Amino acid sequence: MKVLFLHGWHSVPGGVKPTYLAQHGHEVIVPALDDDDFDAAVLQAQVEFEKHQPRVVVGSSRGGAVAINIASGDTPLVLLCPAWKRWGAARTLKSNSIILHSRKDDVVPFRESEELIEKSGLPAEALIEVGCDHRLADESPLSVMLWACELLGAGERLPWLGDGATRPAKSTRTQNAPSQKDASYVCDACGEEIVIPLDLTEGAHQTYVEDCPVCCRSSTIHVEIDDDGDARVWAEPEQDYE
């Protein structure tokens, strides 16, 4: 699927997010947008849009503002913490848009995305709370970005209603490679059940540290896989969370 990726201010075109989409089989067009002149950046994006006719436009931070300021017809938008208040004149989204944003974002306030959703008359579920910072470059936000692109790119809409923001993070973890299956643990800090992919090639006893996709606190994850391939997974809080 062809994706037009509009990067953030002073971001590099070869960044983690477009790379992630490309690694999952998508053709990602990442124009180097003008960092100084917003109107020039919008014009560049418009030219690329018309040239490539992407199935989805992804815009990150300032690139999110670029995305909502180009004429993109019915092409869906996936916006990552869009900086729409700082740049550009557009103040509403089309109906096939999804925003991903972390409440812990200290660059673009989460509230701005809530406001954009309200102004656009979109359901609250079109704003997905995910990640632990502005970058959204960890596995959980990356997988939700991929899920959102593939969902909207296929012409579909949000499959759930009024059921919190953790659902997509879980449902995206189900693409099973032969050596992979899912298991879950309960986060000690927030009590959410977190579904994780198991990598059986990593051995029968695994220990690693992962940030909870819901509350962002770190846990040490223990995985034990028995001879039948059944997994037992549990989490231990890291010492350092407040």
Residue numbers at the binding site for Zn ion (CB under 5 A): 187, 189-190, 212, 214-215
Distances (CA, A) of 16 to 96, 139, 142, 184, 231: 24, 10, 9, 26, 31
Torsional class of 134: left (φ above 0), alpha (ψ -120 to 50), beta (otherwise) = alpha
Tell the smallest beta-carbon distance from residue 110 to Zn ion (Å): 17
| Amino acid in position 77 | L
Q: Please give the Cα distance from 193 to 184 (Å, whole number).
A: 6
Tell the smallest beta-carbon distance from residue 130 to Zn ion (Å): 13
**21 or 136: CB nearest Zn ion:** 136
**78 or 214: CB nearest Zn ion:** 214
Tell the smallest beta-carbon distance from residue 132 to Zn ion (Å): 11
**80 or 194: CB nearest Zn ion:** 194
Tell the smallest beta-carbon distance from residue 73 to Zn ion (Å): 40
The DSSP secondary-structure symbol of 126 reads: G
197, 175 contact by CB (below 8 A): no
**67 or 212: CB nearest Zn ion:** 212
What is the full DSSP assignment across 28-47?
EE-----SS-HHHHHHHHHH
